Each structure stands twice: as C-alpha cells, then as structure tokens.
Amino acid sequence: MGGDDQPAVSSAVLITGASSGIGAALARLYAREGLLLALGGRDAGRLETIAADCRRAGAEVVPGVVDVTDRQAMAEWIAAVEARAPLELVIANAGISGGGVGGSADAEQTRRMFAVNVEGMLNTVEPALAPMLERRRGQIAFMSSLAAFRGMPSAPAYCASKAAVRVYGEALRARLRDSGVTISVVCPGFVRTPLTARNPFPMPLLMEPERAAVLIRTGLERKRPQIAFPWPSLLAARMIAALPAGLADRWLARLPVKE
C-alpha cells in the first residue's frame, strides 16, 4: 500500500481541462488500477463527477481545482503530483474559444483566450518538463486544433492561440528529439463539447468526444508527432492554408463568425 492507505501507484498521467468535453473523455479512457490520475479544471463539481468515474475504474485521482493561468498554483499542484508518482504523460488540454475581435468586450475575450490557451499551456508544460528531462523519460501532448493551420476570420484569437500551441509544440518536439521526452501535437477537427455547442454554423464531420479520446490515445501510444483528425478535415485545412492569401481571404470571409 502507498501513503494514506491508498494502493501503490507506479506512474502518473496529468490532464488539464478534465472537467468537460475531450479532457473528461480522456480521463475516463486512461483511468485504470495502479495509475495516479491528476485531473485539472475550475469547476469542482464537474471535476468530482469525472474523478468519481475514474476512481470506480481503479485509478487514484488527484483533482486540481486550479486555473491554468495561475502559474504558481499550477507549479504547486504539478509538484505535488510528481512527489506521489513520476509523471509519464501530461496532456495540456484546457482551452477556451470565442470569435472576439475589436470592441472592448471582445478585447477582454481575446486576452483571456491567449492567457488560458497559451500561458495556461506553458504553466502546465514547464513544471512537468523539468523532472521528465531529468529522468530522460515522459510524454507531453499539446492540444492544438485544425483551426491552427490558417487564421480564420470566424475566430481570429482562437486560431492564433492554437497556432501558438501548435508551433511551440512542434519546435519543442524537434528540440527534445534525443532527450527521452516524446512530444505530440494534437489537432482535432470539430468535436461535440460545450466549446462547440455555441457554434452558429454547420460543423462537418462533428465527432463525439469519446471517439476523439480514442484517436488521441492511440496516437500517443504510437508516439505520433502530430495527431490530426478526421483526415478529410485535415486535408481541407492544409488546402486552405496552401491557397494564395487573397483568394483564401475572399472565400473565408463568407463564413459566419463565432460568438
């Protein structure tokens, strides 16, 4: 038995944004006996519901009711998890979306999006990376999006923040090639979650979060550098990105904006 009369755990998986959507589906998928599962989110009630499911599957759960923008609180939570069991996988998943551009309310939304999606990602990855590099072992998943391949007028700040996540993850992946730490950049298309529920436009090939979680886990097990799906949406994203800028602008300007 481990401390506090808990069964011994040999390794830990940490997922931010585990109280909803893709993160919750990933938490339920990873939950198993002998695993320390660190689950982050701000909504304690929703997080506890997911934690209870994961405990029923045999995992020991360390909930972290922490805002990812709180650098110190994130560092303390991650250090507390590391002290219990070595982190084998970190999924920097917490994120928000919106279509904000211009205007004072939108300006706040834009800054919040960069704070959560970009700084929140850094606040998750940095404290986890140091011990992983020391033991030359571990895996980090950066949750980006297919919206990161080209700035869409429907959601400028969201696309830009997710592009930052993608590019940072790619750069780190190459930089840490021989470090023993594996990096994957995850780029999903549309997934049915509260984040997409407000989208006022049709979402081609909308996927259930449970299916997305299976694709992400399979990609991570295979140490895929980029886990992007579904493939027709990836192809479309790449084609739009390859179009001449003016042509793409004219075509994309017809799309409805996010709230």
Ligand X SMILES: NC(=O)c1ccc[n+]([C@@H]2O[C@H](COP(=O)([O-])OP(=O)(O)OC[C@H]3O[C@@H](n4cnc5c(N)ncnc54)[C@H](OP(=O)(O)O)[C@@H]3O)[C@@H](O)[C@H]2O)c1
Contacts with ligand X by CB under 6 A lie at 16-23, 40-43, 46, 67-69, 93-97, 116, 120, 143, 145, 188, 190-191, 193-196
**Nearest distance from C-beta of residue 38 to ligand X, angstroms:** 13
> What is the β-pairing status of strands 11-15 and 35-41?
parallel
Rounded to 5°, the CA angle 77-144-153 comes to: 130
Q: How far is the CB of 121 from ligand X (least distance, A)?
A: 8
To the nearest whole angstrom, how small is the minimum distance from the Cβ of residue 75 to ligand X? 14
Phi and psi dihedrals of 224, rounded to 5? -70, 130
Whether 12 contacts 35, CB under 8 Å = yes
Which one of 30, 77, 142, 158 is the catalytic residue? 158
Structure tokens at 188: 């999903």
Name 229's bridge partners. 188
- Output 184 or 193, the one with its CB closest to ligand X: 193
Smaller CB distance to ligand X: residue 27 or 181?
A: 27
Local structure of residue 236 (DSSP, 8 states): H
Q: Please, which residue, 55 or 198, has the CB nearer to ligand X? A: 198
Q: 107 or 206: whose CB is closer to ligand X?
A: 206
Query: Could you tell me the smallest distance in angstroms from the CB atom of residue 193 to ligand X?
Result: 3
Q: Which is nearer to ligand X, 20 or 184 (CB)?
A: 20
Q: Closest approach of Cβ 19 to ligand X, in Å?
A: 4
Q: How far apart are CA 219 and CA 158, in angstroms?
A: 24
Q: Could you confirm whether 168 is annotated as catalytic?
A: no
DSSP classification of residue 8? P
Distance CA 181, CA 259 (A): 38
SS3 call for 251? helix
The counts of H helices and E strands in the chain are 10, 7
Cβ at position 57, least distance to ligand X in Å: 19
Nearest residue to 114 via CA among 103, 128, 127, 101:
101
Nearer to ligand X, 12 or 191 (CB): 191
CB 26 within 8 A of CB 216: yes
Gap between the Cα atoms of 164 and 144, Å rounded: 8
Nearest residue to 68 (alpha-carbon basis) of 21, 131, 18: 18
Residues with active-site annotation: 158
